[in-house]
Amino acid sequence: MEQKITGLYNDYRQGRTGRRQFIRKLTLFAGSTSAALALIPVLEENHLKSSAAPQDDKELKTEFIKYPGVTGEIRAFLARPITGNKFPAVLIIHENKGLQPHIQDVTRRMAKEGFLSLAPDALSPLGGTPDNDPDKAATMIRELNGEQTIKNFVAAVKYLKTHPLSTGKVGCTGFCWGGAMTNQVAVNSPDLNAAVPYYGMQPTAEQVAMIKAPLMAHYASDDARIDQGIPAFEEALKKEKKEYQIFIYEGTQHAFNNDSNPERYNEKAARLAWSRTVAFFKEKLK
């Protein structure tokens, strides 16, 4: 029963179930409307706990910084190893829920691998990701100017390339909406040295011709909307003689890397994709 309620809540959070339908189904599980309404704060608190990451990691230096974008200052979460002088850099692009604790945790994980890691808040031009309200963040994402947003991420590549703690080599990875943005950063930033999109919408064949960086793309096997673009994407990569790798993980769904979403998370696939990602960056950013 608990797993079904969690799955129902995740469907609601991800926009696959409307609020009215969510309340109706939750009422059936809980036995009454009042019991269902009492459950919602508990579900929200459990979600926040599951996505929260330790803040006191003594191996890392973490901070929120701002860098110049085309729309003004962009707020971003920066993490790096506490020891060392210069590090290869990795830009990390969040999902369509904004700069959530989960993505901050991913940024820490990348820093633990020896990288200067930066996760910008794409919603900075609109006031930033709202606290504890992923649904509002998802609505705000749709209000962003696409061209300006891409340029803000390209500006992040420049920021990392010239950062005093950077070796000058910069990679980019992102998830879902951030996977699509990672592809666009590869298209629009000739300074990028490696790109790893996770289940992201693919660029057009014309855009593929502009990609300079080697690419590693991760996809779920059960993700029809995104996967339908893989054949044309791979055909264009081959035609343009781009360096690339494509991995499709059997038995997985979209967002399989997100361990704050228990319904979608696939530990085996996530660990394998992550190990491949880290190895790829260590090879291409050395």
The reported pLDDT for the residue numbered 58 is 82
- Whether 9 and 151 map to the same domain: the answer is no
Place of tokens 């343009």: 240
Identify whether the C-beta of residue 137 lies closer than 8 Å to the C-beta of residue 122: no
- Whether 230 and 267 map to the same domain: the answer is yes
- Whether 253 and 138 map to the same domain: the answer is yes
106-117 in b/e form (b: 16+ CB < 10 A) is bbbbbbbbbbbb
Per-residue pLDDT tens for 76-102? 999 999 999 999 999 999 999 999 999
Place of tokens 């494509």: 246
The reported pLDDT for the residue numbered 120 is 98
Mean pLDDT for the chain overall? 91
- Whether 251 and 167 map to the same domain: the answer is yes
Determine the structural domain holding residue 44 and report its residue range. Answer: 2-49
- Whether 146 and 33 map to the same domain: the answer is no
- Whether 10 and 113 map to the same domain: the answer is no
Per-residue pLDDT tens for 165-175? 999 999 999 99
- Whether 140 and 213 map to the same domain: the answer is yes
Mean pLDDT across 180-188: 98
- Whether 147 and 232 map to the same domain: the answer is yes
- Whether 17 and 123 map to the same domain: the answer is no
Per-residue pLDDT tens for 13-70? 655 566 777 788 888 888 888 887 888 777 766 655 554 444 557 889 999 999 999 9
CA atoms of 189 and 155, how far apart (whole Å): 9
Q: What is the domain-level CATH number for residue 92?
A: 3.40.50.1820
Least confident of 7-11, 126-130, 152-156: 7-11
- Whether 96 and 152 map to the same domain: the answer is yes
Whole-prediction pTM: 0.82
- Whether 37 and 62 map to the same domain: the answer is no
- Whether 203 and 69 map to the same domain: the answer is yes
Q: How many domains does the chain have?
A: 2
Q: Residue 137: pLDDT band by 50, 70, 90 thresholds?
A: very high
